[in-house]
Structure 1
Amino acid sequence: MGRDKRNEKRGEHFTKLVRNMMEEPAWRALSSTAQALYPWLKLEWRGPQANNNGRISLSVRQAAERQGVARNTVANAFRELQAKGFIAVTKPPKLGESGVATSPLFELTEISLPTAHGDSGRRLYKQWSEGADFPVVKAPTHNPKGTNGKEKPRHQNDDSTVLEFAPEKKKAAQK
């Protein structure tokens, strides 16, 4: 029995979730949003012949649109997947000088990297235990404190009056 070519003609794309992974305590500790996000990330993987693991890109906006939830909800799901060891950030997000942002690049720890010679990935989620989350790579802030020596101009809240009426009378009254 050969492969069914009908699905390839329609351009359908699928991924599989392995039951052993889904029975791990780390998977059970994920929220339903994070569990629903993982297949979307895995769909970005191009397969073993064109292995792009470690360079998988899915932005928060794209994921929120695909799942039909708010961006903050998806951002939390990305952090959960990192903390439980299902994904690892290989290149953090950044905002370029021209204002064009790049989304982070991810590694699915269940799949081997293209440079690794092996059948399985690091599978960090197997090492996870309650209260021992993996470090989460967060998007860098856009220089709010001037870490490169440049202080950004920002409005200072001042509750003083903007206009002084009759400043001569005020000065006379203070004497």
Structure 2
Amino acid sequence: MTRKHNNKGRSTSEGRYFQMYEWFMKSAAWQYATVYEKALYIEIKRRYNGKNNGDISMSHREAQELLQCSNRPISTAFTGLQEKGLIKATVKGAFDWKVSRTGSGNGRATRWELTELPRDVPVKVLSGGSKEFMSWQPPTEKTAVRLEHTNGTPTAHHFENKVRLERTINAGAYAYGTP
């Protein structure tokens, strides 16, 4: 029979889980995040092991493979997560960083911090995460389409345009001699 718990009473199964709090998912930053941003955030959070916040490694190429998409949505997702305050880059990655053939040395990927959680690296912070995403507000955008031009019920604006169009057609018809 296999043991389900170790000497300290902790589970020895291979399954891990992570929490997504309700208050976090109700935040404006999470609600306005795109599908790619949400998927990327979940993949970054999967790499959090309870003691590496601030040193979570995720490169653009790794994210492309995990999300099975091209580079453009990945770049946009990383930018969007940072602008919303959900993640922060602690160590910027670069393509020209040298890694020895044995794999030792600094990696190339950027190191990330999840702002909802307390920072662990380089110094553990016990006070909790910075939660910068809680102060993020959605941008106030002007709609590109005028409300009168929706597919809803016709408004006075629709009728005015229809009358103008009919006058133009009638004027053209009279110009060619057909009443």
Band the TM-score falls in, shorter-chain normalisation: 0.5 to 0.7
- Corresponding residue of 2:64: 64
Amino acid at match of 2:55: R
Q: Equivalents in 1 of 2:97, 2:30: separation in Å?
A: 38
Asked if 1 retains the 8 angstrom alpha-carbon contact of 2:97 and 2:108, the reply is no
- TM-score, scaled relative to structure 1: 0.63
Q: Equivalents in 1 of 2:28, 2:58: separation in Å?
A: 25
Question: Is 1:22 aligned to 2:25, yes or no?
Answer: yes
Amino acid at match of 1:120: G
Quick check: which one's helix share is greater? 2
Question: Is 1:102 aligned to 2:105, yes or no?
Answer: no
Asked if 2 retains the 8 angstrom alpha-carbon contact of 1:15 and 1:39, the reply is no
Aligned length: 125
Shift of 1:30: 0.7
- TM-score, scaled relative to structure 2: 0.62
Question: Is 1:129 aligned to 2:137, yes or no?
Answer: yes
Aligned pairs (5 A) from 1:79-94: 79-94=79-94
Superposed CA offset, 1:99-147 (max 9, x none): 9971111110011012244252000001111239xxxxxxxxxxxxxxx
**SS, match of residue 88 in structure 1:** strand
- Corresponding residue of 2:14: 11
- Gapped regions of structure 2 (runs ≥ 5): 6-10, 101-106, 141-179
Q: Equivalents in 2 of 1:67, 1:13: separation in Å?
A: 20
Amino acid at match of 2:25: M
Cα distance, 1:36–1:118 mapped onto 2, change above 3 Å: same
Q: Percent identity?
A: 25
